[in-house]
Chain A
Amino acid sequence: MSPVGELVRPSTATEVQEIVRERRSVLPRGGGTKTALSTPASEVTVLDLSRLSGVLEYDPAEFTFTALAGTPVRAVEEMLEAHGQFLPFDPPFSASGATLGGTVASGLSGPRRYRYGGVRDFVLGVRFVDGTGALVRGGGRVVKNAAGFDFPKLMVGSLGQLGVLVELTFKVFPARRAHATLRVAYAGFEEAVESLVRLGASHFDLEALELHPPGILWVRVGGLAESLEARIARLVAFLGARAEILRGEEERAVWEGAREFAWVPPGTCLVKVPVTPRRLAGLEARLARSGALRRYSVGGTCAWVAWPGELGLLHRMLVELGLAGLCVLGPPGRGKLGEWEGEAFARRVRRALDPHGKFGTG
């Protein structure tokens, strides 16, 4: 029987296997930055992975790296930056101490997910301990691989319920040489959404595209320095609106702040809501009345809601809208909000990877 709040800090995969075999119920935790997902709600053994940290392999010419799951994202980003490379999906909470494993298990991506794809598109390989204590490998270390079931993707968003991640391989991209950001103000939400949809269907290669209600669009471009000004000019002409152009440190800070959720007031919950551009208006109407701060990221496909009150209210709102939500910052045990698609299939997957229910049912 595990006491409440038991905390173990394994330093090898073998120790993780032993803990999973011996304990009745375990909750893996990386940097603990996603409080709602990494704080125990009941009697469980918290499996702190901070000692399983370090890069195992990185050949810059290969544009891939392999690291232990407890490795801080920031450490990896610094290593990559020294070689002109980066993790294009902008892992959130990197400055606050998020780990690679926590990023994968929570399935979170930041603003540049718009241009390059999300965490799911960059995980190539995984080693994890399943609910029986077996150490399992899936995927590989090369950028393209179709051998065996795609466990690396399955682990994205698995919230620690399918296995404890111990090692991950990612692909990375060459960093863009230059960036600029356009801040465009519209009369209202409807006009801003219209412009967002028009940009999304256009041939502009945008790094990020966000809508901050009621009517501000943030448009990030990146690429070679020599063509950047020409591209900005074309973009301004296309938008036909007055745009404020940000560059340099100021520009970087905007996106760093977005990744760290600096705009979320202390004491409020942070909830991720996958959505589509056409459904933005319905969601916005309800949220605007609730007084919650919110941002629409990834070209209007990912809403971030800073919910000030009781989560039950938001849950009911999402059910009515037919949307799903994941509470990232907030009280433990209340991660799943709204209507989650695919539960029947997910249950089968859980039964296969966690037959004894070691990882809880969420």
Chain B
Amino acid sequence: MRRTVPLVDALRSIYPRDRILTRPAELAPYESDALTGFRSRPLAVVLPETQDEVIATVRWCYRKGVPFVARGSGTSLSGGSLPVEDGIVIALNRLNRILRLDPEERIAVVEPGVPNLEVSRAAAPYGLSYAPDPSSQAVCTIGGNVAFNSGGAHCLKYGMTANHVLGIKAVLADGEVVRFGGESLEGVGPDLVGIFVGSEGLFGIALEITLRLVPRPEAYRTVLAAYRSLLEAGEAVARVVASGLLPGAIEIMDRLSLEAAEAAMGAGYPRDAAAVLIVELEGEEPEVESELRQLLEVIRPSGPLEVRLAKDEAERQKIWKGRKGAFSAVGRLSPDYLVQDGVVPRTKLAQALEEIERLSAAYGLRVANVFHAGDGNLHPLILYDGRNPGELERAEALAGEILRMCIRLGGSITGEHGVGVEKRKYLAEMFTETDLAVMRRLRHAMDPRELANRGKVFPPEPVAATVGA
């Protein structure tokens, strides 16, 4: 028996027995998230059904000094919802009500456990949708999206989660319940929603989130162009970006991910291509029709093997199904994989892809590339077999080299997956000790005991937390 059993027993004042999980078999599904290489067993998992239960739990944690990790569906690719050994997991999936959907004000007020796609489903009858569309949107929750400022294929035009959250009610790590932001697109005073979104759970837990809904576009034109090399596809992106068009999405898949998507889903991508470029235009019918003509003029001289236009919504969905399912499809090619999501300046995309190819060969590990090319957001999937001694370490070293390349090229170590546990040490290479010290100070203003999602974001070896104080 672990020494902390009496501590967990105390949670019974908040939860009935069946909503506190403590047995190893019950805890197993919560031991890791989509970053499968990392595992950790928490003391207990609690399953709140109301906001009050979450608040009571956070206050209890604060009194007892117990670290907690809030978790949605566990789709984090950076280990953002990895449990803490002597802490508890607050699983928010049952806090999944859409509290209000107001088509006239074009907002939805939701609890954190609502899956991303549910919001768009609920808004669809009014011709509205929730724009951020992570590939895991069918399962990932709004709470997790808020914590990690999730993106998706269409952030090129619409921005990330932070661009679509208007207001938040949250319980901070010391138990205070705060509200900020509101229902208007505009605000006054510092952008508090902006700093909370993407704070990776280090300030507390969002209980109620006011989301902005946008009208669904009247028309789409989805173009798929196949190329002989990844480099050619990368260069085509630069042409499209420079053309002055503002597509909803610009995506690239390389040969390995195409083969995987084809095998898993039969997406119907061209078989002889080394890379495929997907460009989606959206907007008013007459405008996208004109833009399409212009887009095709831009793409033609880039030397594609083949250019296809989705004839109808079914064909469009097929293209996107292959793209959004690419991660799990590539997963089938290999027992394990690591996904990075570093960002490079868009003009350095081709250079970055060449470097990844070189690194892949040097490390003897396959790397598949499926990525948001329009905003320079790479997604190299590093395939490895964790059963082979040393292979995980080699994969991590390769991932690290890719991140350092992103920093060197003037980019970022993460575009949308967050730092989590996985990229902690690289954060210190992107920011100075002073930058990190001020970030820590802000964290301590919300969470003086470092209970909320302890061990994430900041490098394991603490830099002096007292700079300037």
Interface-side segment among A59-67, A245-253, A260-268, A306-314: A59-67
B103 lies within 8 A of A201 (CB): yes
A residues 41-95 with Cβ under 8 Å of B? 59, 61-64, 84
Q: Which of B160, B294, B435, B469 contacts A136 (CB 8 A)?
A: B435
The CA-CA distance from A263 to B216 in the complex, in Å, is 35
A142 lies within 8 A of B414 (CB): no
A141-B182 contact in complex given A348-B445, A353-B438, C-beta closer than 8 Å: no
Asked if B377 CB lies within 8 Å of chain A CBs, one says yes
Q: Which of A133, A142, A150, A153 has the most CB of B within 10 A?
A: A142
Chain A residues with CB under 8 Å of B199's CB are 149-150
Asked if B246 CB lies within 8 Å of chain A CBs, one says yes
The CA-CA distance from A233 to B183 in the complex, in Å, is 33
A157-B427 contact in complex given A143-B375, A146-B416, C-beta closer than 8 Å: no
Binary flags per residue of B422-460, CB closer than 8 Å to A gives 1, else 0: 010001001110111111011111100000000001000
CB distance from A141 to the nearest CB of B (A): 6
Q: Which of B183, B344, B418 has the most CB of A within 10 A?
A: B183
A205 lies within 8 A of B287 (CB): yes
Binary flags per residue of B99-139, CB closer than 8 Å to A gives 1, else 0: 00001111100000000000000000011100000000000
Asked if A325 CB lies within 8 Å of chain B CBs, one says yes
The CA-CA distance from A142 to B344 in the complex, in Å, is 7
B186 lies within 8 A of A118 (CB): yes
Asked if B263 CB lies within 8 Å of chain A CBs, one says no
Binary flags per residue of B182-214, CB closer than 8 Å to A gives 1, else 0: 111111111110111111000000000000000
A149 lies within 8 A of B188 (CB): no
Chain A residues with CB under 8 Å of B468's CB are 130, 132-134
Asked if A117 CB lies within 8 Å of chain B CBs, one says yes
A274-B346 contact in complex given A147-B412, A202-B215, C-beta closer than 8 Å: no
Chain A residues with CB under 8 Å of B443's CB are 149
CB distance from A116 to the nearest CB of B (A): 9
CB distance from A24 to the nearest CB of B (A): 17
Query: How many contacting A-B pairs (Cβ < 8 A)?
Result: 283
Q: Which of B182, B183, B191 contacts A156 (CB 8 A)?
A: B191
Asked if A361 CB lies within 8 Å of chain B CBs, one says no
A302-B186 contact in complex given A120-B194, A150-B197, A348-B445, C-beta closer than 8 Å: yes
The CA-CA distance from A157 to B191 in the complex, in Å, is 6
Asked if A186 CB lies within 8 Å of chain B CBs, one says no
Closest to B467 in A: A134
Binary flags per residue of B362-375, CB closer than 8 Å to A gives 1, else 0: 00000000001001
Asked if B151 CB lies within 8 Å of chain A CBs, one says yes
Chain A residues with CB under 8 Å of B39's CB are none
The CA-CA distance from A130 to B377 in the complex, in Å, is 30
CB distance from A270 to the nearest CB of B (A): 13
Chain A residues with CB under 8 Å of B163's CB are 117, 120-121
The CA-CA distance from A342 to B196 in the complex, in Å, is 12
Asked if B241 CB lies within 8 Å of chain A CBs, one says yes
A109-B446 contact in complex given A146-B417, A149-B198, A230-B286, C-beta closer than 8 Å: no
Asked if A148 CB lies within 8 Å of chain B CBs, one says yes
A274-B182 contact in complex given A144-B376, A342-B189, C-beta closer than 8 Å: yes
Give the total of B residues in contact with A, Cβ under 8 Å.
Answer: 99
Chain A residues with CB under 8 Å of B445's CB are 348-349, 351-352
Asked if B400 CB lies within 8 Å of chain A CBs, one says no
Asked if B146 CB lies within 8 Å of chain A CBs, one says no
The CA-CA distance from A173 to B156 in the complex, in Å, is 11
A298-B246 contact in complex given A226-B290, A345-B180, C-beta closer than 8 Å: no
Asked if A16 CB lies within 8 Å of chain B CBs, one says no
Asked if A321 CB lies within 8 Å of chain B CBs, one says no
A349-B195 contact in complex given A147-B413, A161-B190, A276-B184, C-beta closer than 8 Å: yes
The CA-CA distance from A201 to B123 in the complex, in Å, is 11
Chain A residues with CB under 8 Å of B377's CB are 144
The CA-CA distance from A249 to B174 in the complex, in Å, is 57
B188 lies within 8 A of A142 (CB): no
Closest to B244 in A: A174
The CA-CA distance from A133 to B437 in the complex, in Å, is 13
A173 lies within 8 A of B246 (CB): yes
Closest to B194 in A: A153
Asked if A275 CB lies within 8 Å of chain B CBs, one says yes
Measured CB to CB, the residues of A under 8 A from B are: 59, 61-64, 84, 107, 109, 113, 117-118, 120-121, 130, 132-138, 140-159, 161-162, 173-175, 177, 197, 200-205, 223-224, 226-227, 230-231, 234, 272, 274-278, 298-299, 301-302, 324-326, 336, 340-342, 344-346, 348-349, 351-353, 355
A132-B468, A147-B419, A158-B189 known, 14 other contacts, Cβ within 8 Å: A107-B187, A109-B186, A134-B438, A137-B432, A141-B345, A142-B411, A145-B343, A145-B412, A145-B415, A146-B418, A151-B195, A301-B184, A341-B167, A346-B180
Measured CB to CB, the residues of B under 8 A from A are: 103-107, 126-128, 148-149, 151, 155, 159-160, 162-163, 167, 172, 176, 178-192, 194-199, 215-218, 238, 241-246, 283-284, 286-287, 289-291, 294, 343-347, 372, 375-377, 410-419, 423, 427, 430-432, 434-439, 441-446, 457, 467-469
A selection of 17 A-B contacts at a CB cut-off of 8 Å is A130-B468, A140-B411, A141-B411, A144-B375, A146-B417, A148-B431, A150-B199, A153-B191, A158-B190, A204-B284, A272-B188, A274-B188, A278-B105, A301-B185, A342-B189, A346-B180, A346-B189
